[in-house]
Structures are given as structure tokens and as C-alpha cells.
Amino acid sequence: MVFTISPPFCLRASTLHISRALAIFCLAAPCVAAQQEPVNLSTVVVTAKTPETLQPNETAPSQGRLEARSAQSVVSDYFIRNFTSAVADYTQAVTMTPGAFAYSPNGVGLSDSKITIRGLSDSYSVMTFDSIPFNDTNGVSHHSWVWFPTQFLGGVVVDRSPGSASSVGQATFGGSINLQSRVLEPERRTSVSYSAGSWNTRLVNLEHETGQFGSEGKSNLLVNVQKMKSDGYETYNRQDRQGLSAKFQHELTNATTLTLFGSYLDLKSNTPNIKGVSRANYDVGNYTYLLSADPARADYYGYNFYDVPTSFVYVGLNSRLGDGWVLEDKLYRYSYHNKQNYNSATKISATSATDKLNAYNTYGNLLKLVRESAMGSLRMGLWMDQADSHRYQIQSDPRTWVDAAAPNFNESYRTISMQPYVEHEFKLGDKLKITPGLKYASYRQDFLHQQDLGSGVGPLGGTINAAKTAITGGAGSVANNIRYSDWLPSLDVHYAIRPQWSVYAQLAEGDQIPSTTVFDVPYAKVNPAPKPTKAKTFQTGTVWNSADMTLAADVYYTKLDGAYTSYLDATGNTAWVFSGTQVNQGVEAEGSFALGRGLSVYANATFGSLKYANGQWVAGAPKDTETVALNYNQAAWAASLSMNRVGKMYNDGTTAANPTVHEAFTLNPVLLTNLFVNYTVKHLIGFDKETRFQLGVNNVFNRHDIVGIATPTANSSSAAPNAADLLTILPGRSLAFTATMSF
């Protein structure tokens, strides 16, 4: 089916359809589907307690949950406030959980970092904020440097599985990273922070918590404003970030609470499009060179810059309806506007640079209904989401930014996602719970591709000039659409052996929506079209939580659909077919133990493999990961020394005959050590409540391990490395001193 659509898209009609669908869904609640209960982090948030009362299960960097029905880890507000960098994004918190790692080559919080979990890259996981999924629309991915710095976060829950039927999003394929907003405090507080550190990095942060106010103290508001600047570890990779977040809660009645949340972040940087240190520089100990200050050079920093504003807003309602029913509804909007300009690394000409845009506005609603009864918990929900996107890349002159007449590609598209689901947690006695569930995942995409120079749909019958800058004749655009859908069942069993000890087993399916690049082919002629890729997971595990010890362990096995490959059939259609399957399997564990006198130790480890059907390793998947952290919490002091190790893994290479050569590069194990020391003083200047001083040291031993091959040259490998390879390496040691005064 082909029809014409014209940007900008209008939301009004679709909003009416969504509203009608929600109304019908609410009336039909007993036979439709559900949203999984969010994790209650209040049990691990300890900001209101004094250090003397903290237990290892409250201060552990990560821990399992007794109620968990799959392999989950919780990172607490306490850890984020005390043991992450003042300029960090969410990745530094997530990487304390088993099997997770991410690297920021320009320094913590100063790069767009991607998280890998159990060897699966960022694009295979759902990321949510207060249960609302968010991601890029051209393919599921996330950009850490423009979403939710640590000051906006109150905790993180990582689920290393497709989750139950109530886990929603466009990539439940590998798991979910669930970011939580700050927990509001009962008492009024104003805090001012200043942080200064390596590479001329500085941050000013102002936070005001009203405490409970208004009639009977039914309202509460938390506002955070910040400004960060840094020269970055890499040469001329400058960062300028400013942000605002606010969370308001009001108790409308004894049974109903209203929540409003909003955040805005604007990042400006000089990061180039192709990132990495050349192997030639690395081999002589030059770990920082990225860009130059010479306008006569192609890699001049003035020819490379980003401006990325983002916003995230939702209105939430939580209400106890009576007879065991609870309703939770969130209406949301988020936006991303990545305006990027970058130049070729090797030349300066009228067409050597690229004028690039990747922008989208996403609107949606997340509805959940829960019914508690003697039989257990019936959970039903509906996620509906609409994203309107515009992307282009145009050749340009970096000296004037005059664009070519025709784009490399220019496309607008709308993506509508809908996932109704239902699950019932049957209580069989006081200890055993069995939860079957079913989710229907549906996606529709409507495209309008402008004629282009060949990076997308091509000239559509037109003629490209000799300079490859303009098109004569041909169709101006082509429109098309596609639908994806599948059913995703889940089943889990949870048994409480003792009040502090539980076991679980889970069978679940997840999926991942195909990238929009499947239509970046001549005339957008695709037949057959791809289907969502699926993952089928079985895992079983156990959790122990007590005041002086936490333990969690699990065994997992996941069969994954591989990526798509394409070929051109006799009629000129591009056909997409599965490249095969992958298997992800292993064992993992984490635990924290009290040593006495304020000391505790935390450790986690994952041993596993992620391989293709032929036995070769998937790129970027380590054989093992380990973390050890020694924590101290006593009186005014809070300190943590952590060591994260990522075992040997492989990266792909390329040759003229084969664009993907598996296991071409072997990457040696990586070891990263961080230290954070906090000291809190009451009434330092008399009228303050408390003042906290923090010393943070990232990469204590100043290691420069190679963590990835950013851009391999043809025929290069570990056996015959090319000096022109671009490498991703650990940034050098950085120190930061932060002072926070609260009134």
C-alpha cells in the first residue's frame, strides 16, 4: 500500500484516536492487558537517614530484589548521590550492575556512551524513565549525554531479560534499564553545589526541595538547575551542558495522587562524527589527540559541532478505585533535536562537510490497571506512542556552511506503537506465585522520502550531476508504509523459601522493531519486508536479602534472532532476510557483606558467551565481567573504592571482499578503578544544615586500555594492525572536588 503524506505531521486526529482507544480499553479492562508494577525504590533510598543507621543492604552499589521474578538489580539513590561523579550521566550508575559496562572516551559524563549488558549492545534494550520508554526513532538507541544526568535520578533498576508481559517498549529483546526520578523529601532544603576537576571541568548545581507544603502538607516540589562546562580529555572536544528538572506531587484526595515531571537539557559540543584516536598516535603514547585548532586542517574543531536540546515531560495520576482496583496513568511528551555539523577528517572542500539533523517529537500514554484479590494480582495495561521524525544529511562547505542543492538523504516518518498486555499473578498459598502473561506488540510506520543523491532512496528517476550535488528531473518524493506485529508471551514462578530468601524461574519472549534504514534502498522498494527480531529467554535465580548481607545469582539462556542482510531480486526489490541466530548464555552473581566498623564489600561477576551459530563471538561481547567495591560508611564519612573488569572480547574487521569479518581484533581485558570519598559537616557556618565535601578519582591507575575499534581500516586485524585504525580508549585519570552546602 502506497500513499502520500506531507510533513509536518498533525497530531490532533491521532490524539483523538488514542483518547477513544483508551476509553474503550478502560471499559473493557477485565479482558485486556497490563503494565508491570514499577519497582518501589523507597526501600533502598536512604537520603533521609543519618550515616550511622545505614546497613550494607542500603549502601550496596547494586542488589537483587526479593520480589523479583527475573534477574534484576537495583542501584540506590544513596549510591548515586555519594559514589558517582558530579558530571556523570546514568551510565556510571548502571555499570555497577552485573554484566554491564560503558565507556566515555572524553571523560565521565563528557561523551555519548552506550551501555552493554550480557554482551548485548545498547540498541537491544528498552530504556525507561519512570516506566515511560524513550529511544531514537530511526533505530532503538539512546544518547547518555543528553538525557538525565545523575542529579535528575533517584535510582535505577536493570532487568536483564525481556521481562514479563507488562514490560513495554520497542526493544524488550535484551532487557530494560529503568531510570527512576528523585524521591521527594518531607523537609524543606536548598542545596548549592560547585564541582571543579580535571580538563577544566566545572559544574554549578542549584537544588530546592520545598518539603511538604500547602493544605495539610499535601504538595511537594523538587527543582534542580545546573550548568556544566569542560574542555574534555580529548583535544578540543569541548562540552557545554545546561539543564533543568522539576518534579511536583499533590495529593488530590486520600486515594489519588497527581505527579508532574519535566526536564530540559541542552548540550553543545565540538565532538566530531568519527570518534577515536588513531593507532599511530596510540602507539607513541598520544592518547588525547582528536581535533586541532588550525582552520587550515580538515580536523579543525570549528568544523565539528553539535547542538542537542532535549525535553521530557509527563503528567501522572495514581488512584485507588476501590474493591482492590488501582489505576495509574501517565500522559507524556519528549523531544530530541540533534543538529550536527561535521567535516571530513582528510579534506576541506565545498562538499567535504555534512549538515545533519535527527529530530523527533514523541507523544504517548501509559495506562495501568491493577486488581488485588484473594487469588492474587491482575495487572492490565496499554502503552500507546506516536513519534514524528525528520532526518537529513546534506553535503556542505565547512568554511561557509553553504549546502549542496540535493541531500544525501531527507526523510520524514511517523511511528505509532501500541502494546496492550495482561498478566495475572496467582497466589498459591503464602509462598508460591505463578504469573502467566501475554502482550500484543504492534507498530506502524509511514514514510515520506525525498529524492536524494543515493544514501537513501536515490534520485527517483532523476539525473545526478557530475559533481554529485544536484538532481535534475525524477519524482520529488516517494511515500510508503509498513506494519509490524507479534505476540509475546511470558511465564514466571516465584517462591519465597524464607522471608529473606526467594527463588524464581522465567520464560519470556522479547522483540525489537527493525531500523528505518531498511527503506534506505533505491525507490524504497522492499519485498519481502523484515519482521521484528525476537529473543526467547529462560533463566532461573535466587535472592537473599538481610541487614548484613545481600546475595543474588542466576543462570540464563537466550536464543536471539540475528540481524538482517539484504539482496536485490530480479525485479529490483531489496529483500531482507535473517542472517541466522545467536545464543547468549551464562551465569552471574552479586552480593554485599558487612565486615564491621562501617566497612562492607560488594562484588559481582558474570561468566558467559554470546556467539553466532557457527561458534564465533559477537563483537563487543566479553567472556566475563567482574566488579569489586570496598565501602565505608561511618559517622561523617562515606567512601567507596571500586574496580570494574571486563574480560577479553573481539571486534569485527573488514576487507574488500567481506564487509564484516568476525573476530578480526582481540581486545585484552580492561580494568577501571574509581575512588569516591565524602565528608559531611553539620552547621559548618552556623546557619547551614550540612556541608558535604567529595573527592572523586576516576581511573585511579591512569590506564589507557583499548576498549573498542571505532573505525577499522580494510584488511586490518590484531595479527596485522593498520596505523590508521581509530581506537576507543579509556580516558586518563581525572580528579574532581565537589562541595555541596544545604540550608
Instruction: Assess contact for 554 and 17: CB atoms under 8 A.
Output: no
Q: So what's the pLDDT on residue 504?
A: 98
Residue 271, in any domain of the structure = yes
The torsion defined by the Cα of 593, 594, 600 and 601, in degrees rounded to 10, comes to -20
Give the whole-angstrom CA distance, residue 19 versus residue 10. 15
DSSP sequence for 567-616: EE-TTS-EEEEE--EEEEEEEEEEEEEEEETTEEEEEEEEEEEEEETTSP
Q: What is the pLDDT of residue 577?
A: 83
* Residues sharing a CB contact under 8 Å with residue 515, sequence separation 6 or more, in sequence order: 138, 139
Assigned domain for 172 exists: yes
Cβ(312)–Cβ(336) under 8 Å?
no
Would strands 100-101 and 116-117 be described as parallel, antiparallel, or unpaired?
antiparallel
* Low-confidence spans in the chain with pLDDT less than 50: 1-38, 40-53
Query: How much is the pLDDT for 431?
Result: 96
Q: Which amino acid is it at 688?
A: D
Give the pLDDT of residue 1. 32
Spacing of C-alpha 187 from chain mean position: 32
> So what's the pLDDT on residue 42?
35
pLDDT, residue 567, reads 84
- Dihedral angle over CA of 75, 81, 87, 91, nearest 10: 0
Q: What's the pTM? A: 0.91
Residue 631 belongs to what H/E stretch? strand 624-634
Task: Report the 10 Å Cβ neighbour count for 55.
Answer: 18
DSSP annotation string for 476-523: SEEEEEEEEEEEEEEEEEEEEEETTEEEEEEEEEEEEPPPGGGG-SGG
pLDDT of residue 19: 38
CATH code of the domain in which 546 resides: 2.40.170.20
Write out the residue range of the structural domain in which residue 219 sits.
12-742
Task: Check residue 400 and give its pLDDT.
Answer: 97
pLDDT, residue 194, reads 98
Cell numbers standing for residue 41 = 525504590
- Residue 547 is which amino acid? A
In a domain, 594, yes or no: yes
CB-based burial label for 27 (10 Å; 0-12, 13-18, 19+): exposed
Q: Which pLDDT score is estimated for 699? A: 98
1, part of any domain:
no
Residue type, 329: D
pLDDT for the residue numbered 55: 61
Q: In the prediction, which pLDDT does 527 show?
A: 85
Task: Copy the grid coordinates of residue 62.
Answer: 547494586
Q: Kind of pairing, strands 637-646 and 581-596?
A: unpaired
* Cβ partners under 8 Å of residue 114, min gap 6: 102, 121, 122, 141, 142, 144
Domain tally, the chain: 1
What radius of gyration, in Å, describes the C-alpha atoms of the chain?
Answer: 26
In a domain, 38, yes or no: yes
Task: Note whether residue 180 is domain-resident.
Answer: yes
Q: What is the pLDDT of residue 57?
A: 65
CA 193 to chain centre: 26
Q: What share of the chain is helix, strand, coil (3-state, %, to 5)?
A: 10, 55, 35
Asked, for residue 298, whether it belongs to a domain, the answer is yes
Rounded to whole angstroms, the Cα distance separating 439 from 177 reads 19
Q: Residue with C-alpha cell 574496580?
A: 643
* Secondary structure letter of residue 35 according to DSSP: -
- Residues 632-654 as b/e (b if ≥16 CB within 10 A, e otherwise) read bbeeeebbbbbbbbbbebbbbbb
* CB 537 within 8 Å of CB 557: yes
In a domain, 510, yes or no: yes
DSSP state of 286: -
Contact 199, 232 (CB under 8 A): yes
Cα–Cα distances (Å) from 262 to 44, 152, 222, 246, in that order, read 24, 10, 11, 5
